Amino acid sequence: MQDVILRDFFVGFIRLHILYHASKEPVFGLSLIRELARHGYSLSPGTLYPVLHRLEANGFLSSERAVINGRWRRYYRITEEGSRALSQAREKVTELVTELNE
């Protein structure tokens, strides 16, 4: 049970990372897997893509496809709703980190 709870925490952090990076520039799956690995998250495409699809289905991301080197790639960008959610999350995370570090 403890593993399930920790996984839920980390998936929440991953969602915030995705929104943050999508707010800076368009992102795609492999670039996110590499970026998240820099932060210690080891994600497979089978874990990442459902998160991206859920964020898009809930209106936090939008996507468009482009052909890169003869292959299709889906780029994700943050939406206005995603930006609002990221801003609210940033406030809550700041408050929590401040409290955790007291």
Tokens encoding 35 = 């970026």
State the architecture of 2-100 in CATH terms: Orthogonal Bundle (1.10)
Q: What is the pLDDT of residues 24-63, one digit of tens each?
A: 999 999 999 999 999 999 999 999 999 999 999 999 999 9
User: pTM of the prediction?
Assistant: 0.88
Domain residue limits, the chain = 2-100
Amino acid residing at 82: G
Rounded to 5 degrees, φ, ψ at 69 are 50, 40
